[in-house]
Structure 1
Amino acid sequence: MIKSSKIVVMGGSWGGLQASLSVLKELPATYPIPIVLVLHRLRNFEGSLPELYDSKTLLKAVEVDEKEEALPGHVYLAPSNYHVLLEKDQTFSLDDSELENYSRPAIDVTFTSAADVYGSNTIGILLSGASRDGSAGLKYISDRGGTVVVQDPAEAELDTMPLAAIDQVPDGEIMNLEQIQAYLLSLT
């Protein structure tokens, strides 16, 4: 497959699972941009997130694996207890270093590494959540000319994460889940 010149990085915490499913459910299996999803979850959680996303979306859902290439038509899920980074060759690396924002995986880590690789072709989306994780990463994306989208805090199950993002990047796009989905569909 041809490597994508763009990347969508999406993060969330409390309420982020349902929000991300709502956003991703209508994207076609041939979606031209890889999507990386970082959700806060218990560190030793051995769940079946790929199966859940496979059953609810048309995208191929996989848990990130070391040195795997970021390909279109996929949603890459951050594994429990690992930070996910993107490398210059558009592959993933997993890191088990210290917690950031009390989390591993941390959204900021993925957002920052994506912006380092994809620059202005990075699309960062922050959903519902109970911490400030992701807001610094969105600012980093914005500072490199990328696109920043924040779930409307009025719609979020928990508004802490979206409000922190708006505080960090006041000129970011604020959208409800339906608008985020429409925006992503418009990129096809």
Structure 2
Amino acid sequence: MLAISRYRLTLMINQTLLAPTTRATVSPGSRFVLRGVHLLRAYAHADRGNVRRLAQEYLQAAELNRNNRDYGNAIHQANTVLGLLELEAGNVERAESYLVASAQTPGSPQLAGMGPNMMLAKRLLEHGRVTAVLNYLTFCGKLWKLSFGRLWKWKLEIRRGRMPDFGANLTYLLDPHSFG
């Protein structure tokens, strides 16, 4: 199923980016997903000048696409990226608020199966923000239906003063290639 969605995503990107005359044939839902892809590409390429604008536009588009299956991804991704930007700028408290906002989503198939992204949580732990991250992991319990105890294990590790091994959850939903 993932290969099919990657194929569809690649096809949509090619139609939109390589053949501008076909833009009228791309559905509004597809344009919404492409906003997320553009955001993640800009973030991956360290295009910080555009990232904040793209993230805010993605959140605005999300409000117009609440029935889209990727609505939850948009809320999670845009807030995570905005939090990472705030952390890079030294605004730890604002980064914490974006961490919480990233979990305030109804979820998505990707969040339920693969789980949320933990990059911002990890970086906040590196800044000693244990309470915020523990609260985030609690919120994530409502989103990640197939965590198989990982959230519980990560919370235990954090309470013991250790950095959990977040594994692939450091890239899920922030890597443009893994976008659902």
Report the TM-score, using the length of structure 1 for normalisation. 0.34
Task: Kindly indicate which of the two structures has a greater share of residues assigned to helix.
Answer: 2
Which has more radius of gyration? Answer: 2
More strand by share: 1
Of structures 1 and 2, the one with the larger relative CO (CA 8 A, separation 6+) is 1
